[in-house]
Structure 1
Amino acid sequence: MSRIAYFGPAGTFTEQAARLLAAADELTPVETIHAALAVVRKGEADGAVVPVENSVEGPVSATLDGLAEEDPLVAVAEALLPVHFSVLTRGEEGPIRTVASHPHALAQVRLWLERHLPEARPVVASSTAAAAVAVQAGEYDAAVTAQVAVEHYPLHVLATGVADVPDAQTRFLLLRAPGELPEPTGADRTSIVAAAPNRTGSLAELLSELAMRGINLTRIDARPIKGNFGIYRFFIDFEGHVAEPRIGDALAALRRRCHVRFLGSHPRADDVPATIAPGAANDDFVNAADWVAAVRKGELA
């Protein structure tokens, strides 16, 4: 049985994602995203489950920075979870004056809190589960948590299914040390981080390598490089798998232009197949390469 670390404590959305991605493995909560990545790098865990982006609040910067720095890790699977919260209390009568949760969670239930708990002051906690622990300890009156939290903490459910945006989702990654990759399925996602030169048009040049090969982007984010104000890394997700000729050709072209770190190729959680532009199918790349090889051998004019 493998040991899989996840951004905890127990009772978070990340635990729910870990149950989906590594149900047969031993799941171990750790306090921070950095700690989850660190135990894999040290060989103390076989993998880590962490959030990478939310459809309302955007990218999870701690995950992006953690993947760009230190020893490489690669994503081998992903999960998409609908983000619906529970509001937990100790069940005591009296006014609710403080509501604690992770900043992303508070942002996603702001309108609900204004409507149902207008006197409550939002308080930032390190995670949704940490907020539940604080309520249990009597530090705050209520916590906005993942629905799974009630399995771990003996609290009263004041409300559940809470979300300002009903179709909000968070994407989670299962990360491992570099090794054998999942096989391509035709509905895959490849992720990289590229440190583009700080000059006019450098990002456009990188994106053009994908566009010229008919590769569709699914996400792009920019993060500053620590200690180099004004210099950015670009986190890019796109359709396809590194095993495909068209994706391999694009990665080689990007690597010629700048430093690129490969972050993984794995099946998409939504099973959406890659969009293939005319002339950009894998067979087109193979046939073109075969033609060039034939020309070099003098077999074709």
Structure 2
Amino acid sequence: MIGYFGPAGTFTHQALLTLTDAESTPLATVARVLDAVRAGEIESGLVPIENSVEGGVSATLDNLAAGTPLVIVAEVLLPVSFVLAVRPGTRAEDVKRILTHPHAYAQTRDWIDQNLPWATVTEGGSTAAAAAAVAEPDSTFDGAICARVAADLYGLDCLATDIADNPDAVTRFVLVRRPGELPAPTGADKTTLVAWMHTDHSGALLEILQQFAMRGVNLTRIESRPTKKAFGEYCFSIDAEGHIGEPRMRGTLKGLHRICRAVTFLGSYPRADKVRPKIARGFTDAEYAAAEGWIDDVLGRAPKER
């Protein structure tokens, strides 16, 4: 059973449908999804982790960093595109009252002003709940700004599609499980981790970044997050190109383990965009293997003690 951040009809639900058609269940919060995975109530859970417009999803980042360890085994990239869902037979001029989630309204405000300037917008709990409310026969709302999956779920027509003030907006979701066998390296992978500094001092972040730079590992995301233990105390949530099964990433993680108070490994998994990293000369698996072979040869030729 797979759980996801619900209710049914949300963008997380839509993202899940692109990943699998296995039996799934919606759960009320990100924390509830992750705790259910930890407790063994569900095999895996899908939650949002990053948005190209608004950045990291703090509820997911903080829960993964501080809770009982989980690992990411897959990711989904979903373009953020809304629809105007209405009851069948509703015309554009009939849409006087719109219901949607505050974040959805923030990302469609300009479109509404340009296309439905006479309409008033009410902000509610979720885009899926907005679609459900509009579907009621005696609803006081004429339309919902929601995901297409919500319109389909509640039998609504899409009066307008691809509604988004930023057409390039994308949300990233991750599928998490309890620790176990990791996905095999594909050559286009990502590793997620949290690095905890020993102390806050000049150059502390630089020391962490050097572990990646000196091994040719590129970062795709880094965010500081409060540890929630003391004011001004932060850890760093990081995504990096590569797989723990590769020598350069394995060396990076070993280096971080030496210099950090703690390192939380959150998984190595295939990139959804399948983009392969550009590995600089000296950092390929073959070059690491050649260097190890050379060291073994040197040690084999060293004088033996008598």
TM > 0.5: yes
Q: Is the 8 A contact 2:99 2:124 kept in 1?
A: no
Letter of the 2:254 counterpart: A
Q: Which moved more, 1:152-161 or 1:130-139?
A: 130-139
Q: Which residue of 2 aligns with 1:132?
A: 131
* 1:1-301 paired onto structure 2 within 5 Å: 3-23=1-21, 25-90=22-87, 91=90, 96-103=96-103, 105-136=104-135, 138=139, 140-196=141-197, 197-258=199-260, 259-299=262-302
* 3-state SS of paired residue (1:228): coil
* 3-state SS of paired residue (1:35): helix
Structure 1 residues 59 and 139 mapped into 2: Cα distance closer, same or farther (>3 Å)?
farther
Q: Is the 8 A contact 1:101 1:143 kept in 2?
A: no
* Cα RMSD after superposing both structures: 2.1
Q: Deviations over 1:151-204 (max 9, x none)?
A: 211334332111112222111111111101111010111111112231111111
Q: Is the 8 A contact 1:56 1:108 kept in 2?
A: no
Q: What is the rounded CA distance, in whole Å, between the counterparts of 1:255 and 1:123 in structure 2?
A: 49
Q: What is the rounded CA distance, in whole Å, between the counterparts of 1:130 and 1:38 in structure 2?
A: 24
Structure 1 residues 201 and 4 mapped into 2: Cα distance closer, same or farther (>3 Å)?
same
Give the superposition deviation at 1:276.
Answer: 0.2
Q: Is the 8 A contact 2:50 2:171 kept in 1?
A: yes
* 3-state SS of paired residue (2:292): helix
Q: Deviations over 1:220-252 (max 9, x none)?
A: 112212242211121111111000111100000
When Rg is computed on C-alpha atoms for both structures, the one with the higher figure is: 2
Q: Could you tell me which runs of 5 or more consecutive residues in structure 2 were left unpaired when the two chains were aligned.
A: none
Structure 1 residues 101 and 179 mapped into 2: Cα distance closer, same or farther (>3 Å)?
same
Structure 1 residues 140 and 72 mapped into 2: Cα distance closer, same or farther (>3 Å)?
farther
Structure 1 residues 248 and 101 mapped into 2: Cα distance closer, same or farther (>3 Å)?
same
* 3-state SS of paired residue (1:229): coil
Give the superposition deviation at 1:13.
Answer: 1.5
Q: What is the rounded CA distance, in whole Å, between the counterparts of 2:102 and 2:2 in structure 1?
A: 23
Q: Could you tell me which runs of 5 or more consecutive residues in structure 1 were left unpaired when the two chains were aligned.
A: none
Q: Is the 8 A contact 1:191 1:262 kept in 2?
A: yes
Q: Is the 8 A contact 2:4 2:45 kept in 1?
A: yes
Pairs aligned (count):
296
Structure 1 residues 112 and 297 mapped into 2: Cα distance closer, same or farther (>3 Å)?
same
